[in-house]
Structure 1
């Protein structure tokens, strides 16, 4: 099967907020937000993340690598370098990749006894790739 490239090099989302409260067993039912990055290219994707907040300066320097023709899913809760993304604080994010990728953000909110799971569409920020 011939490989086809999908995605864009720049993505943005505005609706982030990692829930503070969780119920149920850890780690499966911890409130979290997960980024999924699909790399359909034959090259490794090097993704740089920057987070924006309502009342403080942007924080960048987060780097995620995605192997060629693979998907990588990771919890934003686990990002700690250069600093942890704070819980309960609204944020937005910008992702810049060296190759086109497809991005999805999913929120798992377990603050109440009924589990809520929501997928958030991110915006394809550039029109050139």
Structure 2
């Protein structure tokens, strides 16, 4: 199969809301598809307006698979969760070409909102 995607992606508008008004928890996800025949090892670097860059978040998307990386469940190699109620951006770097979609489910109101977009691929 032909390989699709890029190895580097940017997601500039991220925000994990701490408020949930029903059984659905407000969360974000990075949805990845890997069309290669090799596992994609993915590193996430977080950028903030008012604090230092955070590294050490990672995931693996298997060969010829899709993977939904729930950001509210990501734990860094230092044991740190991604902070809620804080604007941030993500640099996604993969060992293999992947396609990245970003989604945010906001359940802070009874009427849930779902936002999704393709991340920005970098050559």
RMSD of aligned Cα (Å): 0.8
**Unpaired runs of 5+ in structure 2?**
none
Runs of 4+ in 1 over 3 A off after TM superposition: none
Partner of residue 75 from structure 2, selected from 57, 76, 80: 80
User: What corresponds to 1:11 in structure 2?
Assistant: 9
User: What corresponds to 2:20 in structure 1?
Assistant: 22
User: What corresponds to 2:119 in structure 1?
Assistant: 122
TM-score norm. by structure 2 comes to 0.95
TM-score norm. by structure 1 comes to 0.91
How many residue pairs get aligned? The number is: 121
Structure 1 or 2, whichever has the larger Rg, is 1
**Unpaired runs of 5+ in structure 1?**
none
CA contact (8 A) 2:41 2:61 kept: yes
Report the 3-state secondary structure (helix = DSSP H, G, I; strand = E; otherwise coil) of the residue aligned with 2:37.
Answer: coil
Partner of residue 70 from structure 1, selected from 45, 65, 71: 65
Q: Determine whether 1:100 maps to 2:97.
A: yes
Report the 3-state secondary structure (helix = DSSP H, G, I; strand = E; otherwise coil) of the residue aligned with 1:105.
Answer: strand
Partner of residue 37 from structure 2, selected from 31, 37, 42: 42
Report the 3-state secondary structure (helix = DSSP H, G, I; strand = E; otherwise coil) of the residue aligned with 1:34.
Answer: strand
